[in-house]
């Protein structure tokens, strides 16, 4: 029996094996270097964050959650160089997107990006668009190229406005940007497009290997052809940025405004134009219910206004409390009997202009004296601020002061009343503009170092060296001195001159032995015998 010829059978199976090995590579290569999604219902995308595919086939990058971000990548990597040492090949991409917010503004935007990895877990939301963070933004080690559709103006990135398209290289400070819109082919006029208008729009991104030029074009979805003039055209060699193998996808983020970012369709190709997206097959953007759409005034301006009102109320409360403590006084039950002689600290504060230095009459051993005018009565007063830290004897001290104030004598400076506040006592006198008589008799004040000895008291002059004012009548030296004890006249609050302490050319001399004191002279004038 003749043996069958096995050679043709073996050759047939070898041929099938070779075809089986090469066919997946060719298919994989085609899928990697060129693809088109007219909806994402059956797409095998790599998703993270808030990104998901809706039942209708929409790629939803953010779902309206505040401070969130989402990413979506084509699953297969791209081989961007045709040789290990070659340059980045030309490529083209196109996508249809839509941004929806329940307010009249949105945040923050989305990007189409090419990155060395699908892992963007270290990225941040808000102004970083889910692409970078505060530490790596702008680093050349990122190896990321992106086209941003930004609905927020961030001064830190040099954004031109709150509605722009930009080309980003390794960071969010765009190499070049332009307000979102398109140029009409007929007359070249520019027409603005609002990214957050809830209307679908189409974007084209083209990189030319020979020109090292990046062009970005956009148009409303109802335009059937791509505009000839791009809105952004930047010269940049991506060979210095992108790695040999990279992934292409989308990133998006939100801030404090609830916003949804959608991609309806997407296409990509190396070394040629991106495949045309079948617009008729695209899923529809969700339409926000009119009752669900609220003005941003309600959720933004209203809280800000409330915060301003609360801060204003807090400031008013603070001022009232400070005002209360500024004018706070010390009051005891035993002071009721002296009520008519008590002044409020508030009245004295305003009368003296807040105890300003320009109203200062002088400084004495027991305090400072200020002049002032009561606002209601327009009465000119002098206020002595006396420190009195001890509470012991305060009642008796005030009783004595009030008793003196009740005395009626033309030689006594009228004591109008008092005020107590914290650790000080304020005595209120009628203001005497002409000062005291001794200032007219002896113009110069002796320094302490060369004054003759004499009795020491509150405003009590040495006997025999200062006379009581002329015309004191029957008032004795003792009664005159006691009245001067709390008198705010200038001789009570003398300040030593800044000059040398040398003796004055006209010192006050002690009376010679055997001469009469003012009290003795006044006694003899009334017929009383002189004291020995």
Residue 519 in tokens: 């009290």
d(CA 61, CA 32): 22
Residue 448 in tokens: 């302490």
Question: Quick one: how far is CA 488 from the chain centroid?
Answer: 50
d(CA 22, CA 1): 40
d(CA 349, CA 182): 70
d(CA 529, CA 6): 171
Q: Would the annotation count 384 as a binding residue?
A: yes
Length of the chain: 532
d(CA 201, CA 193): 9
Q: Are 134 and 154 in contact (CB under 8 A)?
A: no
Largest separation between any pair of C-alpha atoms in the chain: 186
Give 339-395 as a DSSP string.
GGGBPPHHHHHHHTTTT-GGGEEEEETTEEEEEEE-TTT--EEEEEEEE----TTHH
Taking only Cα atoms into account, the Rg of the chain, rounded to an integer number of angstroms, comes to 48
**Residue 486 bridge partners (DSSP):** none
What's the sign of the alpha-carbon dihedral 437, 438, 444, 449?
A: negative
d(CA 443, CA 463): 18
Three-state DSSP at 64 gives coil
CA distances from 194 to 187, 220, 407, 482 (A): 21, 10, 88, 90
Kindly state the helix (H) or strand (E) to which residue 248 belongs, with its residue range: strand 245-253
Question: Quick one: how far is CA 90 from the chain centroid?
Answer: 48
Q: Which of 89, 94, 145 is nearest to 271 (CA)?
A: 89
- For the annotated binding site for ATP, the residues are 384
- For the annotated binding site, the residues are 384
């Amino acid at each position: 029996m003749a043996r069958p010829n096995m050679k043709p059978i073996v050759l047939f199976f070898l041929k099938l094996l070779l075809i089986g090995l090469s066919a997946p590579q060719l298919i994989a290569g085609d899928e990697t270097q060129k693809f088109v999604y007219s909806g994402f219902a059956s797409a095998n995308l790599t998703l993270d964050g808030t990104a998901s595919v809706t039942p209708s086939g929409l790629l939803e990058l953010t779902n309206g959650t505040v401070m969130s971000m989402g990413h979506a990548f084509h699953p297969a990597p791209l081989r961007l160089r045709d040789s290990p040492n070659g340059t980045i090949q030309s490529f083209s991409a196109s996508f249809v997107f839509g941004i929806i917010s329940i307010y009249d503004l949105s945040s923050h935007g989305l990007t189409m990006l090419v990155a060395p990895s699908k892992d963007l877990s270290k990225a941040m939301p808000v102004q970083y668009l889910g692409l970078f963070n505060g530490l790596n933004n702008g680093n050349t080690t990122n190896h990321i190229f992106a086209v941003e559709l930004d609905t927020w103006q961030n001064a830190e990135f040099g954004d031109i406005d709150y509605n722009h398209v930009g080309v980003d290289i390794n960071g969010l400070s765009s190499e070049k940007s332009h307000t979102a819109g398109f140029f009409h082919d007929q007359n070249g006029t520019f027409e603005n497009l609002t990214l957050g208008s809830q209307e679908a729009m189409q974007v084209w991104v083209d990189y030319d290997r020979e020109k090292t030029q990046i062009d970005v074009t956009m148009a409303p979805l109802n335009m059937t052809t791509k505009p000839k003039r791009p809105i952004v055209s930047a010269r940049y060699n991506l060979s210095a940025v992108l790695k040999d193998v990279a992934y292409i996808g989308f990133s998006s983020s939100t801030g404090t405004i609830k916003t949804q970012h959608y991609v309806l369709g997407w296409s990509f190709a190396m070394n040629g134009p991106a495949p045309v997206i079948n617009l008729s097959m695209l899923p529809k953007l969700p339409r926000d219910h009119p009752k669900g759409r609220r003005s941003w005034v309600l959720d933004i301006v209203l809280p800000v206004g409330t915060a301003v009102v609360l801060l204003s109320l807090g400031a008013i409360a603070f001022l009232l409390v400070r005002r209360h403590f500024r004018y706070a006084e010390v009051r005891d039950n035993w002071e009721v009997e002296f009520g008519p002689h008590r002044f409020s600290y508030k009245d004295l504060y305003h009368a003296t202009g807040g105890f300003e230095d320009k109203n200062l009459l002088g400084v004495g051993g027991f305090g400072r004296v200020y002049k002032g005018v009561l606002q209601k009565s327009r009465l000119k007063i002098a206020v002595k601020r006396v420190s009195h830290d001890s509470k012991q004897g305060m009642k008796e001290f005030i009783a004595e002061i009030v008793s003196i104030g009740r005395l009626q004598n033309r030689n006594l400076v009228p004591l109008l009343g008092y005020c107590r506040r914290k650790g000080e006592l304020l005595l209120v006198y009628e203001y005497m503009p002409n000062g005291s008589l001794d200032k007219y008799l002896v113009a110069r004040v002796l320094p302490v170092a060369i004054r003759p000895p004499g009795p020491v008291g509150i405003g009590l002059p040495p006997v025999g060296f200062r006379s009581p004012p002329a015309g004191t009548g029957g008032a004795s030296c003792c009664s005159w001195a006691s009245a001067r004890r709390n008198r705010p006249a200038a001789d009570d609050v003398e300040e030593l001159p800044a000059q040398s302490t040398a003796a004055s050319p006209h010192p006050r001399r002690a009376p010679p032995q055997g001469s009469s004191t003012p009290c003795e002279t006044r006694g003899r004038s009334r017929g009383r015998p002189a004291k020995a």
